[in-house]
Structure 1
Amino acid sequence: MRTMLLSALLLATPLLSQADSASNLVVNGSFESVVINSSNRWDIFSNISGWTGGSAGIEVRNNAVGLARDGVNFVELDTTANSSMFQTVATQAGQRYTLSFFYADRIGNGQASNGLDWSLDGSHWNAVSSGTGGNSHDWKQLQFDFNATGATTLYFRASGSSDRLGTSLDQVSITTAVPEPQSAALLLGGLAALSFLARRRRLN
């Protein structure tokens, strides 16, 4: 019975680790470490906690021209001009992760002015937005699964007209990818076996 119990534990432990590792690896992913004195205000910083800014810095807005998706702050990267920011995240080689973030076109802003790009290595860029902003922030979520080859450097940059008006960004995260359905079933099977063996042991 000890051999069966050990086997069930070995089966369940890696999957439990995956289930428990959904914490965000991105530092300051919702930009809440930045203190803006009051609502409806904004400021531009060279860098902020976790993020290195580009040539025109990082603009952090406290519910200014729109409401944050998470907390009170969000970022706009068309500051005094189109800018960028990046962060290196401690992902592990061979592990699968999920990138997630929310973006919204600036309220009342035209399509040519909006625009946000992202990259996981700084060489291949992906566009997510160049729409027309409506009367309120319409936050949309992007999710992307990837296999890490080591540490991952996540980049964002403004891509619309360089006119101090652009797409908003909030609630950025990189988490361990959710196990495939087969793995989840294996986890449940392992937990059931553990429960059965523990119950038998109490009865004997």
Structure 2
Amino acid sequence: MSDNDKYTLEANVRTEFGKGAARRTRRAGLIPAVMYGHGSDPMHLTLPGHETFLALKDNPNALLTLVVDGESQLALSKDVQRDPVRRTIDHVDLVQVRRGEKVSVEIAVHIEGESAPDTIHTLEMQTLQVLAEATNIPEYVVANIDGLEEGHVLRAGDLPLPAGVESEEDPDTVVVLITIPRVSEEDLEADTEDAEEPALVGEPEGETDEGGESEG
């Protein structure tokens, strides 16, 4: 489980908008954000850059305690926009939540163990959609493939979930496949042709041109 309650951030209400205002905000070491939820009007905020980066670094479903004008508000990160090159955070979308409230989130699928010798696994689903309490969201769900033989399939309904967490996926949805890698006929033919192709040999010294005598 993620220690969701450890991220407390001082947030300020934004009064300037637009690209220019956002650039100025980021130059000041802050991150523009907007918070929705519970029927209230969107709240435009600025968040402290370094602390927010640390909070969202390894957990896309981080639960944040925002202190706005002296009042605390729980918020769940829903969308994090990053600079494609520097990977710094450009903007954050947040949704208000309450303790005990259940939210729908995507959590990562982590592979554990090794399948049987000579087999490989294919992860068909990188994430799983689940319903969980906002203050108790798992960081990931485990797909244990230890010792599984060729042809074995792990489905969404096979993955164990913590108490209080429900999968929103079709239980028959394939998550992991165990197979033995096979070489296709095209690859075999290509390998055979490469092996049979004769090596280029240089023209022998002293060879005559069109039947003439060699130069002496």
Q: State the TM bucket, normalised to the shorter chain.
A: under 0.3
Higher relative contact order (CA 8 A, sep 6+): 1
> TM-score with structure 1 length normalisation?
0.28
Structure richer in helix, relative to its length = 1
> TM-score with structure 2 length normalisation?
0.27
Structure richer in strand, relative to its length = 2
Larger Rg: 2
